[in-house]
């Protein structure tokens, strides 16, 4: 069935891209292979300097193509949301790919649970060597604060780009952050979880590909963002007051993550500094062995 035959899209598949022309045929093919067809596809080109426009030219009769000056992933997604007409938004990373029944699984969940605004599923992680690992979605606690705390502690597997649908109505209140260029997905899904109930489904939705071009593999971008992601998420204008007390928990987590990242990159002095800043928030991080072992070993590097 041609998607243009449906009067109103159920899903708006939003793909933000920047210099990922070589990935676009794969991700678009995975969308067009969906067994559920009430969707639209929006590709937002965030000022690419490669041949993105040329690669997308054969698809212009099947997609909405929007180009803008480079403003970052957050701004690109906000533009996609503004242009979308579907009931639910699905943010698909340009370097990932959907599994054929992804949208069908979401539709089944929505039929049974029409009042749930956010649904997320499992995904398959694909390493650079081709090895595939199933990452099963996490069932979050029903209590909103406990669910949010679990998310901050990275226990909400699947609640991410390429893994979740979000009612477009949610974005009347919440927007993607534009002041940071990295980890915008963490911020937006954290804010969404702080305001709305979610539901996990078990079927895998997408294949998430790991490669050196990803923002989270770019040490310069990661360190430039630093802990500014904490302030972006815990903006008092958007975060419910009763959850603001968890800001230090997330700051601690970010500092530990940065400590590990720069350690693995060989920057041992910076790794120690990040770890010590986390220690000042919570001395018990000394017992978080996967982080503290790097801290102690860094003194002998």
CATH 3.90.550.10 domain extents, the chain: 3-220
In this structure, whether the domain defined by 3-220 belongs to CATH 3.30.70.260 is answered with no
- State the helix-helix crossing angle for 289-298 and 247-264, rounded to 10 degrees: 50
Q: What is the reported pLDDT for 128?
A: 84
Q: Which residues pair with 39 in a beta bridge?
A: 11
From the number of C-beta atoms within 10 Å of its C-beta (0-12, 13-18, 19+), residue 16 rates as buried
Q: What is the reported pLDDT for 194?
A: 96
Q: What is the reported pLDDT for 223?
A: 82
Q: What is the reported pLDDT for 181?
A: 86
Residue found under tokens 């070589």? 22
- Low-confidence stretches of the chain (pLDDT < 50) are 1-5
Q: What is the reported pLDDT for 210?
A: 86
From the number of C-beta atoms within 10 Å of its C-beta (0-12, 13-18, 19+), residue 104 rates as middle
Q: What is the reported pLDDT for 237?
A: 92
HEC readout, 207-249? EEECCCCCHHHCHHHHHHHCCHHHHHHCCCCCCCHHHHHHHHH
Q: What is the reported pLDDT for 191?
A: 96
Q: What is the reported pLDDT for 71?
A: 95
Rounded Cα–Cα distance for residues 300 and 284 (Å): 23
Centre a 10 Å sphere on the Cβ of residue 287 and count the other Cβ atoms it contains: 9
Rounded Cα–Cα distance for residues 156 and 148 (Å): 9
């Amino acid at each position: 069935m041609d998607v243009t035959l449906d009067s109103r899209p159920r899903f708006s598949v939003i793909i933000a891209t920047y210099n990922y022309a070589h990935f676009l045929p794969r991700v678009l093919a995975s969308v067009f292979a969906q067994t559920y067809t009430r969707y639209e596809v929006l590709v937002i080109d965030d000022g690419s300097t490669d041949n993105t426009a040329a690669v997308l030219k054969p698809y212009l009769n099947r997609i909405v193509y929007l180009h803008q000056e480079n403003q970052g992933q957050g701004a690109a997604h906000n533009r996609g949301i503004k242009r979308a007409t579907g009931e639910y938004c699905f943010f698909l990373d340009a370097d990932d790919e959907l599994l054929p029944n992804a949208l069908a699984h979401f539709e089944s969940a929505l039929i049974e649970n029409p009042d749930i605004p956010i649904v997320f599923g499992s995904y398959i992680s694909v390493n650079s060597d081709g090895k595939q690992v199933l990452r099963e979605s996490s069932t979050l606690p029903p209590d909103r604060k406990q669910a949010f705390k679990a998310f901050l502690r990275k226990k909400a597997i699947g609640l991410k780009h390429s893994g979740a649908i979000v009612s477009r109505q949610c974005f009347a209140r919440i927007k993607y952050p534009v002041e940071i260029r990295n980890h915008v997905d963490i911020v937006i899904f954290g804010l969404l979880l702080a305001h709305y109930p979610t539901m996990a489904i078990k079927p895998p939705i997408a294949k998430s590909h790991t490669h050196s071009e990803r923002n989270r593999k770019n040490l310069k971008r990661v360190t430039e963002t630093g802990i500014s992601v904490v302030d972006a998420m815990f903006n008092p204008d958007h975060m419910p007051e009763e959850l603001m007390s968890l800001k230090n928990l997330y700051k601690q987590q970010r500092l530990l993550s940065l400590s590990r990242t720069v350690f693995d990159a060989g920057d041992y002095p910076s790794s120690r500094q990040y770890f010590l800043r986390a220690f000042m928030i919570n001395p018990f991080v000394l017992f978080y062995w996967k982080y503290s072992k790097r801290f102690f070993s860094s003194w002998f590097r």
